[in-house]
């Protein structure tokens, strides 16, 4: 009787399941960014529909596309650049929390909310940074 693969390698033998999920997320991010940059289409994840926003979405599409290709090819450079992606998403999350419209809340509550969000984003970034550090062996030297 044929032995079933363990959960960590259930998608493609020899590839960690988390890496496969990451590739899928990057491909999805690339496709959604490309779709969002098309003039005339209005999606909820696109805040503004001006030229700068569309160019920014094209830039995201390029970043996601390059990232998914590098992970797929198991390039060692992709692992190093992954730290840039982690830092970029961390900074963008903090920026998004700081610029979110909270006009109905008093200033004191805004500071507490922002502090809690920064701590939460930092904990998430630390978790994923630790996970990414452990993935180094997957990439070719």
Query: What pTM does this model have?
Result: 0.74
Residue-wise pLDDT for 57-95, tens only, equals 899 999 999 999 999 899 999 999 999 999 999 999 888
139, 74 contact by CB (below 8 A): yes
Q: Is the dihedral of CA 116, 122, 128, 130 positive or negative?
A: negative
């Amino acid at each position: 009787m044929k032995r079933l693969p363990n959960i960590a390698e259930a998608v493609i033998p020899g590839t960690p399941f988390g890496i496969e999920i990451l590739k899928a997320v990057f491909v999805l991010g690339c496709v959604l960014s490309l779709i969002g940059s098309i003039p005339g289409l209005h999606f909820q994840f696109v805040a503004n529909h001006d030229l700068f926003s569309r160019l920014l979405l094209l830039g995201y599409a390029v970043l996601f596309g390059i990232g998914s290709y590098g992970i797929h090819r198991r390039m060692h450079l992709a692992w190093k650049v992954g730290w840039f992606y982690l830092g970029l998403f961390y900074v963008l999350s903090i920026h998004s929390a700081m610029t979110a419209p909270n006009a109905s809340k008093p200033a004191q509550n805004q500071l507490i909310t922002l502090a809690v969000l920064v701590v939460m984003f930092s904990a998430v970034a630390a978790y994923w940074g630790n996970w990414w550090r452990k993935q180094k062996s997957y990439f070719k030297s």
